[in-house]
Amino acid sequence: MNIYYVPEKRAWLHQEGNQKLYFSKDSAEILYSEHIDSAENYPVHVVPFKKTNVLSIGILTCKNNKHETSIGGNVPLFCELHKHLAEEGIFSFVMTIEDVLLKNNKGYIIVPHTGKWEEVQVPLPDIVYNRIPSRSIEATSRFKKVKEWFGSQSIVMFNPCFLDKYEMHTTFSKDPALQCFLPDTIMAGSETRLQKFIENHKTIYLKPKKGNRGSGIFLAALHHDGCITANEPHCSTSYESFEAFWKHYSKQFKKKNYLAQQAIMSKKIDGHRYDFRVLVHYSFGVYSISGKTVRMSQSQEITTHVPNGGKLYPYKLLRTGKLDATIQDIAQRCGTILSEHFGFFGEFSMDLGEDETGNIYLYEVNSKPMQFDETAIEKKRLKQLSSLFKDISKYSDN
């Protein structure tokens, strides 16, 4: 069945004469109207559960005045998810922290006959899918107030925060099942400690602990003569000593809270290193794999990210039963630990590598995965999210 938003009345209506219908979280009734002009109003397909309740999902982001509708964040993902949820009979809308703070009940939906985002009045969401686009926004008092308000309304927040790379490492390193998969990692702010670290491992990665998509990452290698080579994605610089290296980078390391990570000597394909990107979703107590991909370096060997010149490679060409089982075990432990320490995580992605002897290493976990280039994985992702939203609503309702 359809419900309709009538802009003139700023209200949601339906045409099922013998049907009582409510937005389930705030029990706001969707009123019946015999005559609704579907051409002038905004139809949304819904499938009520418990006969009368409409499940509502709020996709949380922030405003961006450069976007046509002032929506910030990963708008292409919002669009695909919003359309898929409508097909599944789930009412969803994009909401911004600015509007939540104003308590003006504003949100955005895509109108089917125009394909454009339009502002509408929205109910309280049953579930908030946190897609705030940056760490800096999550660190504001605005976001904290919004998060507290959702908690006061008993609204489930799906994925509560970005992950700090070093905090994640220290948390995982306390788990016996994950310790063996973690590269040695330290904060890079101490000259003495970093010097001992690079002398021990010879080759290390330096990366901002709150960075993403490979931004700011580079490789440092200590040579027999004591000089250090710093290899960034598009340039390489040599320093005659660790002291010279430290003098050049120390302010950057401290300002952006860099961490240093043992460089794993990766297996290579045709001379190029590769790693695994894995998408994970929660379902009835199990963190299951929704997609596995391989990214291979090409123009440089620092990162495998496609924007930095990386290349897609079929996972099936590297797949083994042992590899599948190991990745699944890591995903289950990561998901369990994240939810125990930081709040419920229903979705995340993992970056893993394989060394020359076949050992697997966990490099990073990302709490707000970007879209994958593989269409099949994105389709699976949308299905997993819609199923998970339904499952959470049933559990929360009991």
pLDDT tens, 348-380? 999 999 999 999 999 999 999 988 989 999 999
| CATH code of the region 165-181+266-367 | 3.30.470.20
Tokens of 296: 């291979």
Beta strand 11-14 with 31-32: parallel, antiparallel or unpaired?
A: parallel
Which pTM value belongs to this model?
Answer: 0.90
Does the pLDDT at position 247 exceed 50?
A: yes
Interval 184-193: pLDDT, tens: 999 999 999 9
Provide mean pLDDT across the span 90-115. 94
Quick one: which of 368, 369, 363, 367 has its CA closest to 205?
363
Residue 397 confidence (pLDDT): 52
Does the pLDDT at position 305 exceed 90?
A: no
Tokens of 398: 């009991």
Does the pLDDT at position 79 exceed 50?
A: yes
Provide mean pLDDT across the span 133-162. 93
Q: How far is CA 72 from CA 61, 68, 139, 149, 271, in A?
A: 6, 10, 17, 21, 40
Nearest-angstrom CA–CA distance, 23 and 396: 15
2-158: CATH topology is Rossmann fold (3.40.50)
Does the pLDDT at position 302 exceed 70?
A: no
Interval 307-332: pLDDT, tens: 454 678 889 999 999 999 999 999 99
| Helical packing angle, 375-397 and 75-87, nearest 10° | 60
Provide mean pLDDT across the span 81-99. 96
Residue 398 confidence (pLDDT): 46
Does the pLDDT at position 83 exceed 60?
A: yes
Q: Residue 50: which pLDDT band, with cuts at 50, 70 and 90?
A: confident
Does the pLDDT at position 107 exceed 60?
A: yes
Nearest-angstrom CA–CA distance, 40 and 285: 44
Q: Residue 395: which pLDDT band, with cuts at 50, 70 and 90?
A: low
Nearest-angstrom CA–CA distance, 185 and 369: 23
Quick one: which of 148, 328, 155, 278 has its CA closest to 336?
328
Say yes or no: do domains 2-158 and 165-181+266-367 share a fold: no
Tokens of 364: 């990073």
Handedness of CA 77, 79, 85, 88 (dihedral sign): negative
Q: Which residue has the tokens 């499938």?
A: 47
Residue 122 confidence (pLDDT): 96
Paired with 63 in beta bridges are 71
Interval 381-393: pLDDT, tens: 999 999 999 998 8
Interval 118-132: pLDDT, tens: 999 999 999 999 999
Q: Which residues, at least 6 apart from 335, have a Cβ–Cβ distance to it below 8 Å?
A: 280, 282, 287, 345, 348
The structural domains of the chain, with segments of one domain joined by +, span 2-158, 165-181+266-367, 185-262
Residue 300 confidence (pLDDT): 46
Averaged pLDDT of the chain: 90
